A and B are shown apart, each in its own frame.
Chain A
Amino acid sequence: MSLLSPRPSERLRKGLEQRKGPKPKVRTPRERLNRRGSLETKPGGGGPKRTWLIALILCCATLATLDQTPVLEPARAAVGEVISPLETGAALVARPFTDIPEWFDTRDDLRDRVAKLEAENSTLRRQVEVTDYGRAKLAEYESITRAAEDLGYSMVPARVTAYGPAQTFRRTVTIDAGSAAGIRSDMSVVTGDGLVGRVLRVTKTSATVLLIVDAASVVGGRVGGEDRSGKKSGQVGMVRGSGVVAGSGLLTLDLVDRSTAPLKGDTVITWGDGRAAPYVSGLPIGEVTDSFESVRDSSQTARIKPYVDFGSLDVVGVVVPGGTMSDRAVITPEGELR
């Protein structure tokens, strides 16, 4: 009957339902089902009704509108309270199955990944290896900056690039800053620890530095410049190098006044007028290790242990007058880069 043309029956059912509610609608297909004795032969158990469609679409619109305000938050929270544990449980139970996509990783994929990881590994290892060097360099730059602050001079940072050979019997090094960096001859060269030497001659991009341990180097030195007890009067003398770079007794101090003997541990600093080359005043040189009197010369001599380790010079600073034009950063007495 109506099986051949579902539409009239649908219309009929709709009319029925409007009068009597859904009961006859549901019962009718069940009767048909029983008669045919098959599961699949039920005709549309309630074909889609326009009113329902429109009503539910309006429901959606209402939901969307309501969601513009916080009205739906309680509903979201409630659904979340119920669904979240289910989701957690499902994810937990399904974990063995969710790993399945990994089974399909090909050997090439894995090999690629290994190669990538190895490359990353070596990069990281190299970084670790140079970290100590980088940290030491940073510390030296920082000490130069600090020295500029402590001493109150402007400095141009530079790095030692070459040591003069020992067979020349001159203790010189080359630094990588020259006249372009504002360096002139006779300028003082320091590290964060103390005085290194003075600039002998300058090219555009490099300078030769005479170390204070050179046998021909003479520096005006003052003992106990940082007078603590007032007893030391700041005796002056000449600091001479011994010509060797390492070991003890690198420097000797010949005092002008032979009646006073410097004490062990006294600090020796440079003396000068603060502006003039070769050596600006107040740069620490070293400390007194012992002293002896030379009867023949009628003078007092002290052995000085320099603060600077001349065997491992790397970053040094060249003391320049304030306002020097330089092709590289100049560390100002305030510890800033200019």
Chain B
Amino acid sequence: MSQMEGRASSAAPVLRNVLVGMLVVIAVVLQLSVAPAFAIRGITPDLALLVVLAVALSRGGQAGLVTGFAAGVLLDLAPPADHTAGRWALALLIVGYVAGRVREGSVGESRSHGGQGRPNATTVMATVSTCAFIGVSIFAVSGLILGEAPLTLLPTVAISVGYDLLLAPLLIPALLWLIGKGDS
């Protein structure tokens, strides 16, 4: 779907959408194959969520929405997954949406204060923690509603958010740089 959006303009947006797509696939593959080696009590970092966040922060809510949905569907269907499809899709599209709103808010604000128009580090970290919490919670609660998750959600969600926060300072700047590179 992001492809379609890209084709609307010139060749460069196609390229950058391909870049985002590749980032999403790489994140999903790494999250499923490599991240479990670094799991804390079985909880792996949500790399796909961070990629969606980065896309939403640099491109806005619309791109975040679509990327989140695509990454979520991929996570829902990729091999070890056995949960009801659509749970990660819902969680990540909301994450993309919320992060996009935060970005618009912060960009507008910084512009009005004569800033550079880029969300600053504090905003990014606040967004990461909020969105990680929202995303993991939506996934967990939807599991609860569908009867697929145990009742002791909070420790899992807390560790997951903590892990994402830990990785965010390492990954988000690199991802923003990469996506910015693709946008230029």
Contacts and interface: CB of A to CB of B under 8 A. Distances in A.
A80 B76 CA distance: 11
Contacts of A83: 28-29, 32, 74, 78-79
B171 to A, nearest CB: 15
Contacts of A90: 29-30, 33-34
A39 B33 contact: no
Contacts of A39: 180, 183-184
A101 interface: yes
Contacts, number: 162
Nearest to B13: A26
Nearest to B104: A44
A164 interface: no
B61 interface: yes
* Consensus secondary structure, chain A interface: helix
B140 to A, nearest CB: 15
A242 B8 CA distance: 114
B162 interface: no
A260 to B, nearest CB: 85
Interface of B: 5, 8-9, 13, 25, 28-30, 32-34, 37-38, 59-66, 69, 72-74, 76-79, 81, 84-87, 89-90, 93, 97, 100-101, 103-104, 107-108, 111-112, 116-118, 142, 146, 180, 183-184
Interface of A: 3-6, 21-23, 25-27, 30, 38-49, 52-53, 56-57, 59-64, 66-68, 72, 75-76, 79-80, 83-84, 86-88, 90-91, 94, 97-101
20 contacts: A4-B111, A25-B8, A38-B116, A39-B184, A40-B117, A44-B61, A46-B59, A46-B63, A48-B60, A59-B89, A60-B72, A60-B90, A72-B85, A75-B77, A79-B78, A80-B79, A83-B29, A91-B33, A94-B33, A99-B37
